[in-house]
Structure 1
Amino acid sequence: MQVKEKTEERKWKTTKVSLKDHICIPNFPTELSSYEYDAYFDEYSTKTATKPFSQAIPLWEIHVFNYPTTHATCSVIFKVHHSIADGFCLMNTLLSCLKRADDPSLPLTFPSRQRSKQPKNKLDFCRLSHFPARFFSSVSNFVLNFGWSIMKNTFVEDDPTPIKPQEDSMQLVKPIAISTMTFSLDQIKQIKNKLNASVNDVLTGIIFLGVRLYMQEHNPESSEANSSALILLNTRKAKAYKSVKEMVKKDSDAPWGNKIAFLPVPIPKLIDSPVVSSTPLEFVEKVKEKITLQRSPLSVFLAAKVFEILKNVTGPEIGAKLFKRKLKNSSIMISNLIGPVEKMALVNRPVKGLYFTVPGMPQSLMITIVSYMGDLRIVFGGEKCFINQQKLKVCIEDAFQRIQTSIKQKL
């Protein structure tokens, strides 16, 4: 657990763990309908997500909601403080507790991470002749995007919109409501193959288009607003899941801890594509282009180094404020994890579904994505009384349908 030294510096200290302090089993009225338990679960999960951890014990909890909802006969909430590790590590830890439901002796497998293959260009000399122009263009784009990232992380804040309230507060914990929606991974891959993109590019494009439609529906003037998202990236050399034992090794290529970078990506404006209903693929292409420009390994590395230097020079308290400012300057945070293809079981009980969220962020909208058994579940953690989650999900679904229709028309 973390303890504060006399110098006010926080350090990790080994401590004894009492399970009764960490495992919570709430009590609710019995013999209610599954719909009534849905309401209880939503209220309980929201309260659990936003309640601060006790600083007197290690920062993790397990909540067992042993009542049947419309989604499952029993629900389990794993709550872990981000200071312990990032989502990659915590997913590894969770997977170590789970087995394949069909055959526990077999390992879990995961969807492929490969992009669609580009058709080979036989005229290689043409590409060589364009190399100088492409090189200088790449350098120019790197300088511009690196500079934009630094400014975005420090003092350039998004405009107030229907997804970002106009406020000066640096309040970190906001009351949130959690809701989810699901897409088929195969359908997303169809779009991915058509656009020669990654699954993440397509999902981000769908989310960005849906968010813009939501903003426009609430306030047409927000079409011209400057909005951006922070996308969390895993910076480890190894992207495949490892055992916890491997991760804690000294020279591991997938070390334990928080090994993430924040990728600021501007959300394209609908005014850039005036007839978005007929050109949704162009919108997704534009999102892919912006992500590619911002995802330069050198740019991500340098931006992280600049922030680390600022934190070391100014001290931990100012560093924490800079970190909060970096988060608050954007409108949305997006994070995703890959889940297994096969159905899992926890203590021989099949796992119907899983998802995660990251509460406690200054943004009013947090979006997380996880794949499981051929489906992609998108989770919305929206500020209560500000984000209309039902309407947002309708807009996201509308964006997906527009993009899918465009794909079918081109087949």
Structure 2
Amino acid sequence: MENFNFREGLEPVSPYGHYFNSSELCVSIICVFESEIPINLAHAMSWLQNVFLPIHPRFSSIMVTNEKGEKKWKMVEVELEDHVNVSIIPTGLSPTAYDEHLDDCISNIGMEKFPQNKPMWEVHVFNHPTSNAAATLIIKVHHSIGDGYSVMSAFLSCVQRADNPSLPLTLPSRRSTEAQSGNKSAWARVPQLFSTVFNTASDFGWSFLKSTLVEDDLTPIRSGDEGAGYLPLTLSSMTFSIDRMKYIKAKLGVTVNDIIVGIIFYGTRLCMQEISHKSSNADSTALVLLNTRKVRNYKPIKEMSADSEAPWGNRIAFLHVPIPKFSDPKFSNPLEYVLEAQKIIKKRRTSLGVYLTDKLLDIVKKLRGPEAAARYVHGTLRNSSMTISNMIGPVEQVTVANHPLKGLYFMTPGLAQNVTITIVSYMGNLRVTAGIEKGLLDPKKFKSCVENAFQMMLKAADRDEVPTKKIFNLKATL
């Protein structure tokens, strides 16, 4: 831990650490690991004590307030047994029955708030066979400790390859085929400069309105209730082959990240139309989470100091991306959803709108306090319809405490929305998980619509129904 120069009272809580642990928001990250074998509790406890805890001081720290009202991280002694829970459920049930128990378990875990007098993480052992695994290990981490990039970096630091532990993990390529502009003359850059200025003003203004005054329409995916994000969830999980997505990628010249966002958008509209025909043309917005670090590849934990290019903590921004409507004739081809998602996210990324929003939050925090800034973030979430976050995971199978993992996924409860979508790659597949408020809509219907959207895009690509518009490229950054 000495690498972090972490001394009591000297490590301030980051702005988003304040916002995610406030009276307005209580956001966590739930990581679900599906094991091929039953979990050996002794091995798991040893792994937590000797591998997990030493990864970063945040896992041994609590949030305290000093005499100036500033929140700081304070290191404490960790009683491991206080953080580990073993689910007690009748034995001998069917995998389908255990699926329901696991769903309820994760929902209950998501709704429970962390006590403030001990480090804000916990482990739940579900040692029962489900449809997907012999046993399930659930790790819940408060979002104030770190964002998805930080948590995934921690995960990669404490797992090993199942085939050969001595070999390093491989991550999917993040290459981009964007044209480089480094050789352009000063005059050639003028239009780009004006475009950036215009996009920045437009994006910042629209983001401000969406966070304060303009709400999405009420639809099957948005109830508008004040309790959104804090009610029981049901999870709907689906798996897509990255190789099959690369087929579409080759046809369109886009990234896998563009494709999966387009699939989610198209599938969501299909689901909305099945429930309410008029809602398929309602104003609905997705918040796409953006990693704002200077580098996007994962770094070793020891290199994630506060002054590095990839610091530990919460370095994120929300991109407002309208979900295309069925009423627009240009979206009659499902592949247009991919291109539209790519175009809008690229436009948002290349503007400075997210950085101006970050500065606005800093001003609000300084003038009116962190709770006021948290209310602004809460408004950003509440006024939109869903959140999409994406993480890149290992190519090879990995082991956790000598337990081979068949699959993994994550969820972020507490985001003040009725629907939250998470995406993670692992072993050549993308695992898409929808956290849907219980009673809002049928999770099986949503899953079916998203899977149908993927098949419709594959068929359109097979028929060479590729739009002829100019294609931009979006780096996989989420």
Question: TM-score, normalising length from structure 2?
Answer: 0.79
Q: Does 1:251 align with 2:292?
A: no
Aligned to 2:341: 287
- Closer/same/farther in 2, CA of residues 128 and 396 from structure 1, 3 Å limit: farther
Other structure's SS at 2:399 match: strand
Q: Does 1:149 align with 2:207?
A: yes
Q: Distance in 2 between matches of 1:344 and 1:149?
A: 40
TM-aligned CA deviation for residue 309 of structure 1: 1.7
- Closer/same/farther in 2, CA of residues 224 and 68 from structure 1, 3 Å limit: closer
Aligned to 1:328: 382
Aligned to 1:18: 79
TM-aligned CA deviation for residue 408 of structure 1: 0.8
Q: Distance in 2 between matches of 1:198 and 1:219?
A: 32
Q: Does 1:58 align with 2:119?
A: yes
TM-aligned CA deviation for residue 396 of structure 1: 0.7
Aligned to 1:42: 103
Aligned to 1:140: 198
Aligned to 1:267: 323
Q: Does 1:351 align with 2:405?
A: yes
Q: Distance in 2 between matches of 1:171 and 1:284?
A: 28
Q: Distance in 1 between matches of 2:267 and 2:284?
A: 13
Which of these residues, 327, 336, 353, is aligned with residue 299 of structure 1? 353
Alignment of 1:202-217 (within 5 A): 202-217=259-274
Does the CA-based 8 Å contact 2:220-2:275 persist in structure 1? yes
Other structure's SS at 1:253 match: coil
Which of these residues, 221, 230, 249, is aligned with residue 192 of structure 1? 249
Other structure's SS at 1:197 match: coil
Q: Distance in 1 between matches of 2:191 and 2:90?
A: 69
Q: Does 1:79 align with 2:140?
A: yes
- Closer/same/farther in 2, CA of residues 117 and 192 from structure 1, 3 Å limit: farther
TM-aligned CA deviation for residue 99 of structure 1: 0.1
Q: Distance in 2 between matches of 1:236 and 1:325?
A: 24
Q: Does 1:378 align with 2:436?
A: no
Does the CA-based 8 Å contact 1:365-1:387 persist in structure 2? no
The one-letter code sitting in structure 2 at the alignment partner of 1:100 is: R
Other structure's SS at 1:393 match: helix
TM-aligned CA deviation for residue 387 of structure 1: 2.6
Does the CA-based 8 Å contact 1:101-1:350 persist in structure 2? yes
TM-aligned CA deviation for residue 257 of structure 1: 0.6
Question: TM-score, normalising length from structure 1?
Answer: 0.91
Q: Does 1:158 align with 2:216?
A: yes
Q: Distance in 1 between matches of 2:451 and 2:280?
A: 19
Does 309-318 or 384-393 show the bigger shift? 309-318
The one-letter code sitting in structure 2 at the alignment partner of 1:399 is: A
The one-letter code sitting in structure 1 at the alignment partner of 2:202 is: L
Identity of counterpart residues, as a percentage? 47
TM-aligned CA deviation for residue 274 of structure 1: 6.8
Other structure's SS at 1:189 match: helix
- Which structure has more relative contact order (CA 8 Å, sep 6+)? It is 2
Does the CA-based 8 Å contact 1:146-1:299 persist in structure 2? yes
How many pairs are equivalent? 402
Other structure's SS at 1:270 match: coil
The one-letter code sitting in structure 2 at the alignment partner of 1:214 is: C
Other structure's SS at 1:231 match: strand
Alpha-carbon displacement from aligned partner over 1:77-109 (angstroms, at most 9, x marks no partner)? 010000111111111111222100000000001
Aligned to 2:168: 107
TM-aligned CA deviation for residue 9 of structure 1: 4.2
TM-aligned CA deviation for residue 14 of structure 1: 1.4
TM-aligned CA deviation for residue 166 of structure 1: 3.5
Does the CA-based 8 Å contact 1:116-1:192 persist in structure 2? no
Q: Distance in 1 between matches of 2:269 and 2:207?
A: 22
TM-aligned CA deviation for residue 320 of structure 1: 1.5
Aligned to 1:409: 463
- Closer/same/farther in 2, CA of residues 10 and 295 from structure 1, 3 Å limit: same
Aligned to 2:130: 69
- Closer/same/farther in 2, CA of residues 171 and 404 from structure 1, 3 Å limit: closer
Does 132-141 or 390-399 show the bigger shift? 132-141
TM-aligned CA deviation for residue 314 of structure 1: 1.7
TM-aligned CA deviation for residue 65 of structure 1: 0.9
Q: Distance in 1 between matches of 2:192 and 2:403?
A: 55
- Closer/same/farther in 2, CA of residues 136 and 317 from structure 1, 3 Å limit: closer
Does 284-293 or 28-37 show the bigger shift? 28-37
Other structure's SS at 1:354 match: strand
The one-letter code sitting in structure 2 at the alignment partner of 1:374 is: G
Does 351-360 or 314-323 show the bigger shift? 314-323
TM-aligned CA deviation for residue 383 of structure 1: 0.5
Q: Distance in 2 between matches of 1:130 and 1:216?
A: 45
